[in-house]
Chain A
């Protein structure tokens, strides 16, 4: 901990966190959630989505007062509110609080010492990639480190709530993060991204977050199966891998699921990655609602085409090649489910070798 606050004049609420591996104390900045405050001070609180949907960060307020800002959060449905159960990612302490979490927590156990923190940034270079996908960059107030595959939560002052987006490129100590957003009808943040002049807008960020990460030191072949904007974190993984010349002596496969050729994006970047990596990286676009009639993309011959759901294309493309592979999966829930089943039953991958953000 970097400060010694007390609840009272300075407005900082003090948290006593009781976990299955011991008691931790930390302080919250004004308006800061119990999850963010604990994570940034190096405590490995349980979480997956950090945005209210999954329910993983459940804690029980034993003493004191804490408000769950988004009480309709999907992840809050099964909470025992009367007992004081709250989602820590949505909850702000109003007084000093005592909180229990039903799992172990450890101080300072973040991989590579990359601890999430609060950042601010300015949105730059937004660009529509398709009718419902936009990419943009955020210029940060300070450089950050992250692992390929991680995400940040983003917050825009005029739009309530947090959204989680994966970084789409990789760099160490970077002041620029790249993101990709698929429009969700009725999604406040994505509506804002698609409706207004957004370049120059100020954003608040928190991160990096997420454990579905790529580490070249693992020295394994990788297969990435992504649907739609689920491709985002995989772009960072391939970016990092190519920077390390990883595909000189490892094999890699990317299966990118979209409906039709018109829904594809990042084709220039994917082509570049495929050419740079050489024969050991195989990139396939799986079209679920169109038959391209050809095995390679007409304008991007380095990219293969297949028809059907992306996990089916991955199954076809990976026959006999699953041994020792690490699998990365991201996309809409039915796609993720199909890919997980395929990797377990056909690929025989152990659960520990399958990485995905458990947002549902």
Chain B
């Protein structure tokens, strides 16, 4: 079973970001008004803790460190400065609780090793 219970939905206010440790896996849950989203706590840009650096306005999540933005409804990048996607865990509500589908912790590759080690790409 990789659907993991997070919390009661009404424990996260609208426009709030809340961090949880679920079976040792850190996850941030956002209530953007149109629903809930769950994602790893660190901003994929420079590892800011999104439960602190993030703000929700409308359906947009902004990391206030460098103003990277994502559309929480569409689960897409928004804003011209944003270079990396946010990884989303699936969420569902069942039996009065909020669940996230977390098989394993998702970690971004902050070192960009895949990119930087791709000789074929850089020799173009």
Q: Which residues of A contact B (CB under 8 A)?
A: 18-20, 22-23, 55, 60, 78, 80, 83, 85, 100, 102-103, 337, 340-341, 344-345, 348, 350-352, 354, 358, 360
Contacts and interface: CB of A to CB of B under 8 A. Distances in A.
22 contacts: A18-B122, A19-B122, A23-B122, A60-B116, A78-B46, A78-B47, A78-B110, A85-B111, A100-B116, A102-B112, A102-B116, A337-B64, A341-B55, A341-B64, A344-B55, A345-B57, A350-B79, A351-B68, A351-B69, A351-B79, A351-B81, A360-B65
A85 to B, nearest CB: 8
A337 B53 CA distance: 9
B67 A100 contact: no
Nearest to B69: A351
Counting chain A CB atoms within 10 Å of each CB, the highest count among B55, B64, B68, B80 belongs to B64
Nearest to B124: A22
Interface of B: 46-47, 55, 57-58, 62, 64-69, 79-81, 83, 110-113, 115-116, 121-124
A360 B67 CA distance: 13
B33 to A, nearest CB: 13
A283 to B, nearest CB: 26
Dominant SS at the A interface? mixed
Given A78-B110, A351-B69, A352-B79, 9 more contacts: A18-B123, A20-B122, A23-B123, A60-B116, A78-B46, A100-B122, A344-B57, A350-B79, A351-B68
Given A22-B124, A83-B111, A341-B55, A352 B116 contact: no
Closest 6 CB pairs of A and B: A18-B122, A351-B67, A351-B79, A102-B112, A340-B64, A345-B57
Contacts of B58: 348
A48 B110 CA distance: 18
A103 B122 CA distance: 11
